[in-house]
Amino acid sequence: MLLQNTDYDYAAQVNILDLFARTVSDNLGVVNNLGECWKSYMTDGNNIELSWDWHTGIEKPAVRFSIDPIGMGAGMTSDPRNGMATAKSKESILQALPNIDMSWFNHFETFFRGETESTFIGLESRKKCDLAECHASKVFWTFDLGEKDITSKAYFFPGYRARAMNRSNLQVISEAIISAPSCTPERLDALTMFSKFVHEHERMGRSPLRLDMLAVDMVESSSARLKIYFYSRRTDFRSVCENMTLRGRIAGPDMDRGLSRLRCLWESLFDQEGVSPDTPLSSTSHQTAGILYDVEFRLGDKAPKTKIYMPVQHYARTDAQVITSVSKFMNAQGIKHGGAAKRKIGCPGREQAPSARLGPSLPTPSYADAFNAIFTDEAIRSSRGRHTRVACSIEAGGALRVVSYANPQEGKFIRHTPQQSS
């Protein structure tokens, strides 16, 4: 449904669906005889996430999907640590995408794998564990589904090795990067800047940042991005500005304009219009509560680029609010499918009442159409959870690049086509 609404041609859709079948169909896991299933860290239990990349108006929207491979015997006697799925998924991805570059993947997989195995936490222990690393996920894969090309990223978790070595997650991530092929110190200024930000944050006595993941593009190292993901428990907009700028280390007119636009979307998603930037969002104790960010950089970059992942699954009122807020924002920014449009500055019109469905007058109905075709009206209007996050990065001119993330495994909310009576 999402592919159809991005206007991908038929050949591209067939190619993408073939990849999906090869990499996903055998990696969904099963429920054991106790009614338990192998839980993924990806979407708070489920192991697939879909995303719609709105871009900023220059390109058509793009679809992506992520998978945390879970084998059919994961957690059972035949495969207690889900190791079979990890190995099989790597093999199937190499068969489907033979041109991807595995040099950095192989390095990071080897670096993190040993301690992950030796400090593995079983099902019963995970139920009692309150650590962020008390999940069994080992490697995530993400596929950027371009109409002409498909690229991939891999995600690794530093927590197990850090705990085993009695080191911080930042220390372990830094060691992994510094020891990777081609990663000489003079090419890692961006990593140094981020490390200084984290250390300064700690010295100020703030609530600790939780560095959760390291991701890498599966391309040649000279053009690959390294991405470090971190959680902040603070949910006020002032802290958002601090984290997006790394406390002023990334600055300039583009950042100022981008943060202004980001606040517009923030206010709409979380009912924060007129609220002080020092006011936090509602409290929740969930493991993934707070705000997720990433810093990304290539070798030789002087500074990283930042991105925020706003957790609408915890803080938005309903999925209808998410659909309407994002679509209205993209309309106000000047996005039109099929080409660039003049970007407007300012927040979407406050006077327009929110609705679950976008009328034909808006220029960006495709995402809403797809979502409304999959899930029931009642579920979209009355609850949240189909959307997981809305991500934003600040691009040239201060425009926001927006990505909507969705959990397609909320099966009980899926719209079913009525059966014809005979």
Task: Tell me the per-residue pLDDT of 321-343, one tens digit each, with 9 for 90 and over.
Answer: 999 999 888 887 765 443 344 44
Residues present in the chain in total: 422
Is 36 within a domain?
no
Sign of CA dihedral 376, 381, 383, 388: positive
Is 82 within a domain?
yes
Is 32 within a domain?
no
| Tally of domains within the chain | 1
* CA 49 to centroid of chain Cα atoms: 8
- CA dist., res. 285 & res. 346, Å (int): 34
- CA dist., res. 226 & res. 293, Å (int): 14
Instruction: For 61-82, write each residue's pLDDT tens digit.
Output: 889 999 888 877 777 777 777 7
Give 25's pLDDT tier (boundaries 50, 70, 90).
confident
Give 4's pLDDT tier (boundaries 50, 70, 90).
confident
Is 335 within a domain?
yes
Is 35 within a domain?
no
Q: What pLDDT score was predicted for residue 41?
A: 65
Q: What pLDDT score was predicted for residue 416?
A: 44
| Percent of the chain with pLDDT strictly greater than 70 | 78
**Closest among 407, 339, 341, 335 to 371, alpha carbons compared:** 407
Interval 309-314 mean pLDDT = 93
Is 34 within a domain?
no
Q: What are phi and psi of 321, to 5 degrees?
A: -60, -40
- CA dist., res. 4 & res. 10, Å (int): 9
Q: What pLDDT score was predicted for residue 129?
A: 44
Is 17 within a domain?
yes
Instruction: For 219-251, write each residue's pLDDT tens digit.
Output: 999 999 999 999 999 999 999 999 999 999 999
Q: What pLDDT score was predicted for residue 155?
A: 94
Q: What pLDDT score was predicted for residue 342?
A: 43
Q: Is 142 helix (H, G, I), strand (E, B) or coil?
A: strand
CA dihedral of 306, 405, 338, 298, whole degrees rounded to 10 = 30
Interval 191-220 mean pLDDT = 94
Mean pLDDT, the chain, integer: 81
Residue 420, both tokens? 């014809």
Give pTM, 2 decimals: 0.86
Is 336 within a domain?
yes
Q: Residue 219 is part of which domain span?
A: 2-27+44-413
Instruction: For 343-381, write each residue's pLDDT tens digit.
Output: 444 565 444 433 333 333 334 447 788 777 777 777 788
Q: What pLDDT score was predicted for residue 417?
A: 43
